[in-house]
Amino acid sequence: MAEDHALTAGQQLRSFFEAPKRDGVIVVVLGLVLVADYAGLERHWLLAGFAALGALPTLVSAFVSLRRRSVGIDAFNVFAVVISFATLQFRSAAFIALMLSFARLLDWRTQTRARDAIAELLKLKPLKAVREVGDKLEDVAVDDVKLGDVLLVRPGSRVPVDGRIVFGQVSMNESSVTGESALVDKTVGDAVISSTLVESGVLKMRATGVGADSTIERMAALMRQAAENKSRTERIADRFAGAFLPLVALLGIVTYVVTRDAAKTSALFLVACADDMAVAIPLAMTAALGRAAGRGVVVKGGEWLEALHGMKTLVLDKTGTLTYGRLEIRDVHPESWIAEDEFLRLTAAAEKFSEHPIGRAIYRTVKRAHGFVSDPDTFDSFKGAGVSATVDGKNVIAGNERILAERGLQVPAEVMEKFEAEKNEHGQTTVLVMIDGKFAGLVTVADVPRPEAAEAMRRLKEYGVKRVIMFTGDNERTAADVAKTLGISEFRASMTPESKLAELKILQRDGRVGMVGDGINDAPALAAADVGIAMGGGGTAVAVEAADVVVLTDDLARLPEMVDLGHRVMKVIRNDTAIWIISNLFGFVLVLTGFMGPAFAAAYNFGTDFLPLINSSLLFGKDKNDAKPVKKP
């Protein structure tokens, strides 16, 4: 028992000397001792002891960096602490240690918030699902749902796994994933995301993403990865230190050589301590990463926001990124004797039982628009060339020119000219429709662009991306048509994964290049790009893993938002740097003119420390200018 008690006491003691308890105690004690010290109750041994304890983790980090032949911001701050102790300025050492301990507490709090956010996210995941087996329904654990299972989701329930609707029309609340509070109407053929809420309507869905492959689990995994990579934001602070430490050191050396005044020299170093920047830069990045997550975008570390800021060229894959990656009705050309709604109703009913992708696309699009498509009275298919059906007593044949010619059906010459023009101009598939032996019209089917794509491309250029280029494996004609529709002036057609990678490396010669994709074939280019962006909602796990930024909503409008966020956070960091430089220059003047000694320099440094922190914290608040782009310098 005594051994157990001793072991427990030892564990508690070790726990006390670990972050965050250690840093919390240091902040409280140093704060109280400093107040007492300025009140006349001097306790130098307490100041010195807790200052040394507070600076110890930074000293270890600086030593590790120096062994790697790298001078970072930790070395900058340790140098200031050493100067403070060497000149017996314990108040100064205490001030610096206080800020460094506060920086570690902030880092701990950021990681805690990330863990809490992941826990809250996973609370949205349903534990049970209703599975359809034959004519029966059964309750099953969500972890037991398999790919292809048909699930029933009632109003007020959350979607248990990712899937695609096979029956029903619903209004969905997707705010848990997208951050958008507006309801989204969905019907047969539409994708639904795990954890989203069915506000009204009943749906049946086929499971397409279960377990670790569901969006909710992928979001949690990505958030964990982003939290682990948060420390990479310190690279920006280290570059800052690497730029300014030599200048400060040179100023100190010149000052001592000219004045032979050690107190004045140490005061200069105390003014220049960058403990505030060690906090302000990660603080700005933390706020920006939180903003991105609130918009349904996971950024795997602050360095990728900096990469977005510096991006000169953005390359986007076509299929599944700029387009939906599935066929949809693009154009309808009914003859004058039949109304468009009636033409589509009869055509969709004829295609209802078709297994061909073109026929399924026609049925799915009309079903989504009108909510109901009646069954045909009779149905027959022609081996991928078309279908014949009786709908409301009318004979409907839909297919290509060969299937019509084989049945002796004549298509007007001007219609065939239009048919050929559609194929030649747009490279899309055109279906000819006959009703009761009379030509009724054309339906063109294609992989259509996402509705927000054109506006997103325009805004990207507005936010400073100089070149937007489309990569596709499609032929030149199809690529040119999509690029023209979206306002993209540059594209590369007939590309393989190898040629995408080679072209990307060529583009990188002119500056930073971003790559947006969603498929396995995009993964090499995503990994090789300066910043890889995966459309994660429908993207493959390989693409999501290779990417640095994941757009969970599959909404292209998020791309310019993230570029703009990169500009904003880097503007805040530039302002932090400007504040530090200006306050230091003013402090240098006070020191060199004899108005400020080491003690006052330490207090001055501590007081000005809060200016960049306040500036960085502005990113946590609501920005009135969110709708306005920050122009890239």
For this structure, is 375 an active site residue? no
- Alpha carbon of 421 to those of 385, 413, 426, 446, 568: distances in Å? 20, 12, 8, 15, 47
For tokens 């839909």, name the residue.
Answer: 398
Q: What is the mean pLDDT of residues 148-164?
A: 91
- Mean pLDDT, to the nearest integer, of 321-335? 85
Contact 58, 100 (CB under 8 A): yes
Edge to edge, the sheet with strand 512-517 lists: 297-299, 549-551, 531-535, 512-517, 311-317, 467-471, 490-492
How many CB atoms are closer than 10 A to CB 264? 20
Tell how strand 512-517 and strand 311-317 pair up: parallel
Q: At what angle do helices 558-592 and 262-271 cross, to 10 degrees?
A: 160
pLDDT at site 498: 82
Residue bearing tokens 């800052």: 240
All structural domains of the chain with their residue ranges: 2-118+231-282+571-620, 128-159+162-209, 295-323+450-565, 325-448
Task: For residue 464, give Cα distances in angstroms to 15, 312, 564.
Answer: 49, 8, 9
Mean pLDDT of 475-500: 87
pLDDT digits (tens, 9 = 90+) for 568-582: 999 998 999 899 889
Catalytic residue among 107, 275, 317, 518: 317
Whole-number pLDDT of residue 520: 63
- 3 state SS of 260: coil
Topology of domain 295-323+450-565 in CATH is Rossmann fold (3.40.50)
CATH class of 325-448: alpha beta
Query: For 159, which DSSP code?
Result: P
In the block, tokens 């100067």 appear at: 83
Given 2.70.150.10, 3.30.930.10, 3.40.640.10, 3.40.50.11030, which CATH number is that of 128-159+162-209? 2.70.150.10
What average pLDDT does the structure give for the chain? 80
Mean pLDDT for the stretch of residues 155-164: 89
Answer whether residue 426 shows pLDDT above 70. Answer: no
pLDDT tens-digit profile of 491-537?
Answer: 998 888 788 888 999 999 999 999 998 766 677 888 889 998 988 65
Residue 552 pLDDT > 90: no
Retrieve residue 146's tokens. 């398999």
User: Which is it for strands 162-167 and 170-173: parallel, antiparallel or unpaired?
Assistant: unpaired
pLDDT tens digits, 240-290: 666 777 788 888 889 888 888 878 888 888 788 777 777 788 788 878 887
Please state, for a pLDDT cut of 90, what percent of the chain lies above it: 21
**Comparing 295-323+450-565 with 325-448, is the CATH topology the same?**
no
Give me the numbers of helices (H) and strands (E) for the chain, helices first please: 22, 22
| pLDDT tops 80 at residue 178 | no
* pLDDT tens readout for residues 197-251: 888 889 999 998 888 777 777 767 766 665 555 444 456 666 666 677 778 888 8
Percent of the chain with pLDDT over 70: 81
